[in-house]
Structure 1
């Protein structure tokens, strides 16, 4: 994790605006590479560098939770070469970064249908979960083989099993109970959803959690999304009046 400049002013801004949980759709790696006449895989590598810097920045400034979209259930439809490279990149990045994440008190979790991932990656993920489980700093969730509809479907199946077993009645189901079956069950509500790369869509990401989140879309491609760009997003959030559907 790269050392970042700690700004007391930014820490104070995070606290004053009540921002606890940020989610990011990290879009634009391949377009970044294309603009620079580089292979698309290079863009993914640079995207990992951008995430490393942002995780350290958020951790240093007291952000409670950061959830990033790394690989969707739909991404398996990409070329075999690209998917294989991404899986190897996950293994490489996690192997290199886990010890420092742990030293910096970051709790790391992968969320999604993890059983569908390669075995070596699953073993590393389990090691990361176990190693950092009791850390009390930034909660970092990496959504991998993740889909929002998939997550909600699994939550409904769990509730259905409880009803079938006689542990629950349909009228007992509440929003809080549904939340307890989601991957993000123990995290603060999502406050801010950032999408890089200029597109304005959710792409099946955190559908339940985004109900009252503020959206921030930037044309900046993910490999160029710096701490300064993150500060700009937080400043925009701080200026908004949250209405929670009212």
Structure 2
């Protein structure tokens, strides 16, 4: 074999090796995805957020939910027929703040995922049930501060405005009777179940009555029920 033929043969082998390497680099992510399946990819996405962090925007709320620490656990994945959509069921332990309000939450999350190209990503927020509960709580706080009875009624699980009668209704009327009303929530402690949520609220209420100024603090227990992807207060707002 002549030197030129030998170099030609070696060059052909080198080109073949390089081509194979390029093919592996291009196809490896897709092959890996097929090998692991959506379950591993979705679990990896959720667990990666524990390292990278979360900052969530709630619809209609100016300040984001700033997450200090969070942990997804007990994750199970349901893949829809067709393999383009899936739902992750998981527990979520989260500590953070929404504006000046501390948020501590523990409970169940249902996170819809969708396949976009080669990746699985959340269809919306990665904490949709916590976000829905916080949106209901913040909407109630704003409506109480503004004295918006129509908005308060819309947040009830039943549409009878007198459903929360008794002590809760008396407390509601006491809050709405204040002038120059300011309601600050210092903390929400949430326990999320599949169809409802229990909340402990630490609050501070400031305002004026004809006879005296008011500056009260306290805690109250609130109960929410889920309807589709929204939460409503039941039996009452207070």
Q: TM-score range by the shorter chain?
A: under 0.3
Scaled by the length of structure 2, the TM-score of the pair is 0.24
Please state which structure has a larger fraction of its residues in strand. Answer: 2
Please state which structure has a larger fraction of its residues in helix. Answer: 1
Q: Which has the higher contact order (CA 8 A, sep 6+)?
A: 1
Scaled by the length of structure 1, the TM-score of the pair is 0.24
Rg (Cα) greater in structure: 2
